[in-house]
Structure 1
Amino acid sequence: MNYKVNVKLALVFIFGVAMGFLESIVVVYLRQLYYPYDFKVHLVIPSHMVQIEMFREIMTIVMLVIVATLAGEDKFRRFYYFIYLFGIWDIFYYVGLKMLLNWPSSILTWDILFLVPTEWFGPVLAPVIVSLTFIFYGVIMILKKENFDFVQMLIGLCGGVIIFATFVTANSTTLNYDWYMFALGEGLLLFSMIEKFALARKKPKKII
């Protein structure tokens, strides 16, 4: 059984890497079209093209969901495979951009992260930290065959909402990002994982 899970994790990893590089290649084309001389954080493109880009991003998420659904044996495993795959895809997207464009120049370089349901901005380091957390979280929960409990889900959800808020409220003009709120959200994500394992250890063992 562990062998099958390891093979799945490896195949999903390869898919995530491929999708990350594919996404970076698409962005290379977009930057060449709209910023042939110098890339800017802001998207200054026609509104109908913004809508097309939003649709592309939604379809990307649909692809991740489908692969995670095929990989996971139940609803919990599907979610864990999704966050694992999402993290791989996001990190290798930036790896691809670094290889192809030598961008970002540093981990604190700002980027437009997403367009749905509104624009997300922030330093590259922030989504990379979240993606690493997703990968670590997903792998451990898949291998340990753990399920969500209500408290864990609530804590993790609060952390995710806080991080989302830092992205959509970030000021890309003044490059002002709320690292304190991000740290709080990331801390809640990590705490939800720690809380899960702490409860698992406290469960009394069955006496035969």
Structure 2
Amino acid sequence: MISWKRHVIALLLFGTAFGYLEAAVVSYLRLLHEPVRLRYYPTRPAGELFPLLTAEQAAAAAGAHGRKVLLTEVGREAATIVMLAGVALAVSTNAEQWAAAFVVAFGVWDITFYVFLRLLLGWPASLFTWDVLFLIPVPWVGPVIAPALVSSAMILSGIWHLRREGTARPVRLRAANWVGILCGAVVILVSFTLDSGSVRAGGMPSPFHWWVFWMGMTIGLGGYASAALSNRAKARATSTKARLLARA
């Protein structure tokens, strides 16, 4: 049986390499798109992503290829998720292991992406610099620190789950735990997409909705932590009972 440590190392290596690949692609895209953005927003400070080009501005700049470029970018993001899901599948044997491996790979990819982007472009200027996080199904926007916090929680939870697999105290998620985790994820997603309409229209994002974000984090982490702590308590009770019976 391959140890959980080897699985985690594989996920860390893949996520880090993939983070660099993503940063390299984005650095090329920004170098190509910057002259177009300066045409519409000549006074915008260097390194600032907002305001974004509207669909009409992007179409006018790219001509007949505008829609194709946008669809290609959306396809690239979808392919990213498929690749992360695929490597998680390669190191897992059941659904819970797959979910744990996926969140580890995703979290490492996301954090190292920003690390390498900082090394390649000197961006983001700080953890509170705003970024376009994703485009599916609508633009997700927020300060860099927000997805970094989510990814950190995903990495820690995923590694903890994989570490407990194969032991006498594995974490087993019940339906209520899954509901909590998924509801938390949805609330976090809402915090990233509340300003998608104004951003797509060429506006500036409003102050980040931290209270919505932290509500989602609390619900999601609570859903997982309740399962982890419950299973650990049951395992300790079983172990204590076994020792008492052995002494009797």
| TM-score where L is the length of structure 2 | 0.79
Further displaced range: 168-177 or 9-18: 168-177
* Counterpart check, 1:92 vs 2:112: yes
Q: Do the aligned residues in 2 keep the contact of 1:71 with 1:81 (CA within 8 Å)?
A: yes
Alpha-carbon distance in 2 for matches of 1:118, 1:16: 24
Spell out, residue by residue over 1:51-71, the C-alpha distance to the aligned partner (whole angstroms, 9 max, x if none). Answer: 110000000111001100001
Residue 48 of structure 1 and its aligned partner are, at CA, apart by 2.3
Alpha-carbon distance in 1 for matches of 2:186, 2:112: 24
Which runs of 5 or more structure 2 residues have no equivalent in the other structure?
39-45, 59-65, 166-170
* Counterpart check, 1:151 vs 2:176: yes
Residue of structure 2 equivalent to 1:27: 26
Give 3-state SS (helix, strand or coil) of 1:134's partner: helix
Give 3-state SS (helix, strand or coil) of 1:104's partner: coil
Which residue identity lines up with residue 11 of structure 1 in the other structure? A
Alpha-carbon distance in 1 for matches of 2:174, 2:141: 32
Residue of structure 2 equivalent to 1:180: 211
Q: Do the aligned residues in 1 keep the contact of 2:134 with 2:140 (CA within 8 Å)?
A: yes
Alpha-carbon distance in 1 for matches of 2:224, 2:82: 26
Give 3-state SS (helix, strand or coil) of 1:112's partner: strand
Alpha-carbon distance in 1 for matches of 2:173, 2:222: 14
2:142 to 122, 143, 155: 122
Alpha-carbon distance in 1 for matches of 2:95, 2:205: 42
Q: Do the aligned residues in 1 keep the contact of 2:172 with 2:228 (CA within 8 Å)?
A: no
Spell out, residue by residue over 1:4-27, the C-alpha distance to the aligned partner (whole angstroms, 9 max, x if none). Answer: 221111011001000001000000
Alpha-carbon distance in 1 for matches of 2:12, 2:134: 22
Residue of structure 1 equivalent to 2:43: none
Q: Do the aligned residues in 1 keep the contact of 2:173 with 2:224 (CA within 8 Å)?
A: no
| TM-score where L is the length of structure 1 | 0.93
Alpha-carbon distance in 2 for matches of 1:195, 1:5: 22
Residue 180 of structure 1 and its aligned partner are, at CA, apart by 0.4
Give 3-state SS (helix, strand or coil) of 1:106's partner: coil
Taking the TM superposition and a 5 Å limit, the aligned residue runs for 1:55-204 are 55-145=75-165, 146-170=171-195, 172=199, 173-203=204-234, 204=237
Aligned residues: 207
Alpha-carbon distance in 2 for matches of 1:201, 1:131: 24
Spell out, residue by residue over 1:55-101, the C-alpha distance to the aligned partner (whole angstroms, 9 max, x if none). Answer: 00000111001100001121110110000100000000000111111
Alpha-carbon distance in 1 for matches of 2:21, 2:53: 20
Q: Do the aligned residues in 1 keep the contact of 2:180 with 2:224 (CA within 8 Å)?
A: no
Which residue identity lines up with residue 125 of structure 1 in the other structure? I
Which residue identity lines up with residue 141 of structure 2 in the other structure? F
Residue 122 of structure 1 and its aligned partner are, at CA, apart by 0.5
Residue 43 of structure 1 and its aligned partner are, at CA, apart by 4.9
Aligned in 2, Cα 1:143/1:93: closer, same or farther, shift over 3 Å? same
Spell out, residue by residue over 1:128-158, the C-alpha distance to the aligned partner (whole angstroms, 9 max, x if none). Answer: 0000000001000111122321111111111
Alpha-carbon distance in 1 for matches of 2:53, 2:82: 23
Alpha-carbon distance in 2 for matches of 1:176, 1:93: 24
Give 3-state SS (helix, strand or coil) of 1:105's partner: coil
Further displaced range: 195-204 or 141-150: 195-204
Q: Do the aligned residues in 2 keep the contact of 1:110 with 1:175 (CA within 8 Å)?
A: no
Aligned in 2, Cα 1:85/1:34: closer, same or farther, shift over 3 Å? same
Mark the structure with the bigger radius of gyration: 2
